[in-house]
Amino acid sequence: MKESCQPTEGSGAWGIVVSLVVSLVVPLGVLAAAVLAALVSGPPPPDGQSAVLFAAAVCGVGCVAAWAVNQPRRTSPAGRVAAPLAATSLRLAPALVALGWLQASGGGLAASGAGGYLVGFYLATLAADVIRTIMVTQVGARRRGGIEPN
């Protein structure tokens, strides 16, 4: 069983495609599970379904934007630092803008808890992406002989 879908030298185009798909599917899958749990976890408040869907849309946009900017493989040290920082900024910016809008004039969405859903969905997708990145990085380093297993 293959432990990671991160492409290695010589893995070819198929390994790159699998890596790209997995790196997008993991955070979006966690987001979908969180949305489903929020929708079925009890009686929604007025506009509760709208609040969940609003928060899911904002977090989904952040996930896709972060994925898109982080995909090109950087070879320079500056590029390897800049791409994840840009991805983090693009993941965080839509959520912060949406929270600011909800605080200023969110109306029914703010009253039905969209801010809480937004924070919860953001943290869930961030955690999934961080765990996926750590696992892929460790497996890739072991394949290259850089990290000794514990």
60-96: pLDDT as tens digits: 999 999 888 877 666 788 888 888 888 889 999 999 9
Higher-confidence residue of 112 and 70: namely 112
Compute the average pLDDT of residues 105-119: 89
Q: Secondary structure of the chain in the HEC alphabet?
A: CCCCCCCCCCCHHHHHHHHHHHHHHHHHHHHHHHHHHHHHCCCCCCCHHHHHHHHHHHHHHHHHHHHHHHCCCCCCHHHHHHHHHHHHHHHHHHHHHHHHHHHHHCCHHHHCCHHHHHHHHHHHHHHHHHHHHHHHHHHHHHHHCCCCCC
pTM: 0.76
- Give the confidence band of 5 by pLDDT, cuts at 50, 70, 90: very low
13-54: pLDDT as tens digits: 776 677 777 788 888 999 999 999 998 886 677 778 889 999
